[in-house]
Amino acid sequence: MTTTLAANRPAYDGKTLDLTGKSGARAFRNTLASVLITLCFLIALIPLVWILWTVISKGYGLLLDGGWWSESQRGVTVRREGGGAYHAIMGTLIMALITAVIAVPIAILGAIYLVEYGRGTKAARVVSFMIDILTGVPSIVAALFVYAVWITVFGFNRVGFAVSLSLVLLMLPVVLRSTEEMLKLVPDELREASYALGVPKWKTILKVVVPTAFGGIITGVMLGLARVMGETAPLLILVGYSKNINLNPFEGFMGALPTMINQDRTELALQPAADRVWAAALTLILLVLLLNILARLVARFSKVNSK
Amino acid sequence: MAKRIEVSGLNVYYGDFKAVEDVSMTIEPRSVTAFIGPSGCGKSTYLRTLNRMHEVIPGARVEGKVMLDQQDLYASGVDPVAVRRVVGMVFQRPNPFPTMSIFDNVASGLKLNGVKDRKKLTEVVERSLHGANLWNEVKDRLDKPGAGLSGGQQQRLCIARAIAVEPEVILMDEPCSALDPISTLAIEDLIEKLKDRFTVVIVTHNMQQAARVSDQTAFFNLAATGKPGRLIEMGPTKQIFSNPNEKATEDYITGRFG
């Protein structure tokens, strides 16, 4: 149907517009950029795939053996096959657990202070700056600091607990920063809604703000744990490597996966030792992966009525 | 329930900036009072001083008196948390708690203040949802998340949450500005019903809405940008909309503003 208005206008002026678009030069630049981006992505992927492939292909053999998960390296020399990583797995888990128990509450409460109470104050700026510095502290410096306090000043022995103390210094800033970011993401409208119901501030934080940010907080804790479990310098400095099973973090030397790798690495030319190095590395990766999956499940099921 | 609010000589500051100047008014119990005026004239700021919500923003402070019947809300020793239990609030954007179910959202005010009696909670939730005209729509899915409802339903959920704690006064800060016309109508019907039990104060940019729902209307304006907002005039809604005393009011209402 044509209206009178449209009828008075020429519908078609005879000229054809060039809508084919890409001129040669622009098409070339577009292709070049696309190729470059894809190439960079593939290059970034190379080390990741390479590492995973190397570790899995060389390490999976020993992991299939039940003894790996239940026996220690007691009496096994680098030249001999056999034994397991039970002592090292337990050592790594125990030290990581103690670290988390100390670091996580401090980090979360610290983040709550920074976001909910100290926002804009001088104290908060100072704390925030200190956390930034702490983030950059190398693990060996943290280890030496704990060595100076725990062993030189207090005169205690080199034990697993001392390792945990130095790992706390490394985990704290990671968890605090990520928790802080997650709390900042909680909209102020939710806090106001709670205040408007006559709910005190501390209860608003505990029952509204933290549950809303819970998934993100858990992810931060996991990132912190993953970083801490692979640290080697504190283990070398603060606790000797033991091939025996020792579950007491306050007495005696303790095995751990990174130091187990370090021990067998000294005789990498020997096949039994090399096998154990790769198997221990794969075990460490799997542990971190397992904890990650576990945390995600916890975060999902703690969400009330998510479906 | 439902109390009279008497405000005298109220100034509101954000740091050094004076946002609202010298407001005095009486808000009658069991009625709806609407605040209208251009953006930035301080009506929302002023509304938030009626339950001391402005104190959430650092640097905000108030001079003057707000009396709830015989009690001064700004007297020394008055706890803002206690004030907010008596003067509830509904916000511009629906803000149900995302981690909570519909039931828990409505019960949150009681639960977070320590009420554990399941029977009482069930009773209050049902009564409040009825009161917010939402019961029939959600009664079969009380355990589903509140964030899964439509915008209009979420806003009524927030109203149910506010009335569940049995306040004396309900403040509404542009409660319909994020809603479609049908949801808006539902909220307006609800406001009509709420005034049987509560003192209702509503900020709105919608002149027809003010004319439809309110008994009293207060017009706020500011002399220029950067100047504090003031109460220009207040009176029965019919009079404000048909025969205002001030030229500025008439200009604003008829759309010849500026």
Given a cut of 60, is residue A243 above it in pLDDT?
yes
Whole-angstrom Cα distance, residue A269 to residue A78? 10
Lookup result for tokens 């030397």:
A253
Whole-angstrom Cα distance, residue A296 to residue A298? 5
State the average pLDDT over residues A56-64: 90
Inter-chain contacts counted by CB atoms under 8 A, chains A and B: 84
Q: Is the dihedral of CA A79, A83, A89, A91 positive or negative?
A: negative
Do residues B9 and B22 lie in contact, with contact meaning Cβ atoms separated by under 8 Å?
A: yes
Question: Phi first, then psi: what are they for A222, rounded to 5°?
Answer: -65, -45
Closest-CA distance of chain A to residue B81, Å: 5
Q: A86-302 has which fold?
A: MetI-like fold (1.10.3720)
Which chain B positions have a beta carbon within 8 Å of A193's beta carbon? 91, 95-97, 158, 161
Do residues B90 and B154 lie in contact, with contact meaning Cβ atoms separated by under 8 Å?
A: no
Of A190, A198, A306, nearest to B97 by CB-CB distance is: A190
* Predicted local distance difference test score (pLDDT) of residue A163: 95
* Predicted local distance difference test score (pLDDT) of residue A7: 57
Amino acid at A17: L
pLDDT in tens, B44-62: 999 999 999 988 888 888 9
Given a cut of 90, is residue B237 above it in pLDDT?
yes
Which residues neighbour A114 within 8 Å (Cβ) at sequence distance 6 or greater? A124, A127, A128, A176, A180
Closest-CA distance of chain B to residue A307, Å: 7
Mean pLDDT value across chain B: 90
In the numeric block, which tokens belong to residue B223?
A: 């002399």
Whole-angstrom Cα distance, residue B233 to residue B84? 27
> Among residues 244-303 of chain A, which lie with CB inside 8 Å of chain B?
303
Pairing mode of beta strands B169-173, B5-14: unpaired
> Which domains, from first to last, does chain B contain?
5-93+171-253 (3.40.50.300)
* Predicted local distance difference test score (pLDDT) of residue A264: 87
pLDDT in tens, A212-236: 999 889 989 988 998 899 899 999 9
* Predicted local distance difference test score (pLDDT) of residue A4: 57
State the average pLDDT over residues A107-134: 91
Of B58, B82, B165, nearest to A197 by CB-CB distance is: B165
The proportion of chain A whose per-residue pLDDT surpasses 90, expressed as a percent, equals 60
Given a cut of 50, is residue B146 above it in pLDDT?
yes
Band of pLDDT at residue A45, cut at 50, 70 and 90:
very high
Whole-angstrom Cα distance, residue A216 to residue A214? 5
In the numeric block, which tokens belong to residue A146?
A: 């704990």
Under DSSP, the state recorded for B40 is T
| Number of neighbouring beta carbons within 10 Å of residue B139 | 12
* Predicted local distance difference test score (pLDDT) of residue B258: 47
* Predicted local distance difference test score (pLDDT) of residue A204: 94
Under DSSP, the state recorded for B139 is G
Closest CA to B68 of B168, B216, B159: B168
Which residues neighbour B52 within 8 Å (Cβ) at sequence distance 6 or greater? B73, B74, B80, B83, B84
Strands ordered across the beta sheet of B216-222:
B71-72, B60-68, B5-14, B17-27, B229-236, B216-222, B32-36, B199-203, B169-173, B87-90
State the average pLDDT over residues A68-86: 83
State the average pLDDT over residues A183-211: 93
Cβ <8 Å between A212 and B113: no
Mean pLDDT value across chain A: 88
Interface check A203 vs B, CB under 8 A: yes
Amino acid at B51: N
Of A63 and A81, the one with more pLDDT? A63
Closest-CA distance of chain B to residue A219, Å: 17
Domain spans of chain A? Answer: 27-64, 86-302
* Predicted local distance difference test score (pLDDT) of residue A307: 35
Cβ <8 Å between B88 and A203: no
Closest CA to B173 of A130, A192, A116: A192
Whole-angstrom Cα distance, residue A90 to residue A73? 13
State the average pLDDT over residues A21-29: 81
Band of pLDDT at residue A305, cut at 50, 70 and 90:
very low
Band of pLDDT at residue B1, cut at 50, 70 and 90:
low
Cβ <8 Å between B162 and A305: no
Tell me the C-alpha to C-alpha distance, in Å, between residue B214 and each of A54, A281, B145, B239. 74, 72, 33, 12
For B78, half-sphere exposure in the C-beta direction (CA atoms, 13 angstrom radius) is 17
E-state strands within chain A: none
How many Å is the maximal CA-CA distance in chain B?
56
Given a cut of 90, is residue A24 above it in pLDDT?
no
Of A199, A305, A306, nearest to B112 by CB-CB distance is: A199
Tell me the C-alpha to C-alpha distance, in Å, between residue A158 and each of A139, A161, A163. 17, 8, 8
Band of pLDDT at residue A98, cut at 50, 70 and 90:
very high
Given a cut of 50, is residue A306 above it in pLDDT?
no
The proportion of chain A whose per-residue pLDDT surpasses 70, expressed as a percent, equals 94
Closest-CA distance of chain B to residue A116, Å: 11
Site from B99, B143, B171 to mutate, A interface, most A CB atoms within 10 angstroms? B99
Given a cut of 90, is residue B40 above it in pLDDT?
no
Cβ <8 Å between B99 and A120: no
pLDDT in tens, A248-282: 899 889 999 999 999 888 888 888 888 999 999 99
Cβ <8 Å between A198 and B162: no
In the numeric block, which tokens belong to residue A236?
A: 């070398």
Under DSSP, the state recorded for B65 is E
Task: Report the range of poorest mean pLDDT among A15-29, A90-104, A134-148.
Answer: A15-29
* Predicted local distance difference test score (pLDDT) of residue A13: 73
Closest CA to B159 of B126, B131, B123: B131
Instruction: Spell out a b/e string for A54-73, using b for 16 or more CB atoms within 10 Å of the CB, else e.
Output: ebeebbeebbeeeebeebbb
Site from A115, A121, A197 to mutate, B interface, most B CB atoms within 10 angstroms? A197
Whole-angstrom Cα distance, residue A198 to residue A36? 58
Which residues neighbour B100 within 8 Å (Cβ) at sequence distance 6 or greater? A304, A305, B108, B145, B146
Band of pLDDT at residue B158, cut at 50, 70 and 90:
very high
* Predicted local distance difference test score (pLDDT) of residue B58: 83
**B18 dihedral zone (left: phi>0; alpha: psi -120 to 50; beta):** beta
Of A198, A214, A304, nearest to B84 by CB-CB distance is: A198
Amino acid at B153: Q
Cβ <8 Å between B112 and A191: no
Angle at B97 between CA B91 and CA B102, to 5 degrees: 105
Cβ <8 Å between B101 and A194: no
